[in-house]
Structure 1
Amino acid sequence: MFTGIIEATGHITALLNKGGDLAVTIYTDSLDLSDVKLGDSIATNGVCLTVVALQQNSFSADVSKETLALTGFVNYKIGQKVNLEKALTPNSRLGGHLVSGHIDGIAKIVAVEQNARAIDYWLSAPTQLLKYIPYKGSVCIDGISLTVNAAPDEETDNRFKLTIVPHTAEQTTIADFEVGTSVNLEVDQLARYLERLILAPKLEQNTPQSVSDNVSLDLLAQAGFIK
């Protein structure tokens, strides 16, 4: 698990094709790797990667075919700058939101607008993911926990807006975003769990009654999960 609060950036120094998947090496002189062990997880542009080799200022990981199919890794090149975050620990501050590191799809920057000292980025996303992107909800873009300032709907032409303050741009790869940039998108896990709870009674019609049979839209509304 991760928080979406970027600890450092790095860049890709090696990409080795291994029969359809990839072995990748990331160099960073700003992320403390002294407490990282083989088998640990590091979110790289939001993708949870398992460390398989470790050097003083770099680590290596394998990228599966599934990950290549769902993320920007399929188009990454040597020198690509990436956001880095080590896995959440029990005593870590949850400054962003709970992030799994499992990418749901690719979003694309479609407009960039100055907003005082901040910058508004408008993004498009796969249609099936739009329902998980609510106004003031959380999304993870290239590993960065961000707040949705305009939700996808008819008024926004199914685009959503993120407002980026200068500090976030300075500490991440966002400063390099421009119209046409593709980014890794992970939607909020709570939205997925709620959907599953709502669908559970239909999925279990032919099974004995269980606790999920009592979950309804009315119950979720009463508990404050939906309006």
Structure 2
Amino acid sequence: MFSGIVEKLARVSAAAHDGATLVLEIETQFGDLALGESVAVNGVCLTVVEFSSSGLAKFFVSPETTARSNLGRITVGSLVNLERAVRLETRLSGHLVQGHVDGQGVLETVTPEGGAYLLRLNLPETVGRYCVEKGSIALNGISLTLNSVEKQTGGCVIGLTIIPHTWDHTNLNTLKPGDPLNVEVDVIAKYVESLCLPYLKP
């Protein structure tokens, strides 16, 4: 379990593709990793399969994950957002994030505004249906608040404000219009829908 508070912006040192399977080697800067530990990489919960005391770590990325997330587009030199799993005594500064990506959104525009940045993204209906104004969402593993949700046929457009600290310490500042972002919607919304569906059927 994660909270969507990015701890490190790390560089990918190797990306070995074998069909739809991928092995990533990342300069995590974490010197105390453990074998089998979970780390969120761009919001995707991955398992440490090899590591060194210098913080270099390897992660195996399955075909399911490359198909559902933007990790399949990762290349050597790419910057990724990292977060280690939360501890029970940790303050939950963001929101409950599982590291289970629901889909991808496409960045539409980035507009500077008073030191902050306004982002607009297009989301498919499969994830847009769970978005509500002032609700929570995780983009590339970052816990964010939805400013606006414009429902459209086949999906929606969401608007968010990125404060300078988040802009400077995550890979959002490397993105350009047309780039995909990993999206994880609020898990509570999905559970509520699942529980209510049997009572909504005609």
- Aligned-residue Cα RMSD (Å) equals 1.7
Question: What's 2:22 paired with?
Answer: 22
Report the Cα distance in structure 1 between the residues aligned to 2:83 and 2:31, rounded to whole angstroms: 11
Structure 2 residue runs without a partner (length 5+): none
1:42 aligns with 2:39: yes
Q: Aligned AA for 1:53?
A: E
SS at match of 2:151: coil
Q: What residue in structure 1 maps to residue 13 of structure 2?
A: 13
Q: Which runs of 4+ in 1 moved over 4 A?
A: none
C-alpha separation in 1, matches of 2:109 and 2:95: 25
Structure-2-length-normalised TM-score:
0.93
Aligned equivalents of 1:178 and 1:62: distance in 2? 27
1:68 has 2:66 as partner? yes
State the 1:200 CA deviation.
Answer: 3.7
Deviation digits for residues 79-117 of structure 1, max 9, x if unmatched? Answer: 110000000111111000000001011101101112211
Work out the CA distance in 1 between the residues paired with 2:41 and 2:25.
Answer: 11
Instruction: Give the letter aligned to residue 2 of structure 1.
Output: F
Residue of structure 2 in register with 1:2 after alignment: 2
What secondary structure sits across from 1:139 in the alignment? strand
1:100 aligns with 2:107: no
Is the contact between residue 3 and residue 99 of structure 1 (CA under 8 Å) also seen in structure 2? Answer: yes
- Give the C-alpha shift of residue 72 in structure 1: 0.5
Q: Name the larger-Rg structure.
A: 1
How far apart are the structure 1 equivalents of 2:36 and 2:22?
17
Q: How far apart are residue 153 of structure 1 and its match?
A: 2.1
Q: Tell me the matched-pair count.
A: 199
% identical equivalent positions? 37
Equivalent in the alignment of 2:176 = 178
8 Å contact kept, 1:134–1:152:
no
Equivalent runs, 1:49-64 vs 2, <5 Å: 49-55=46-52, 56-64=54-62
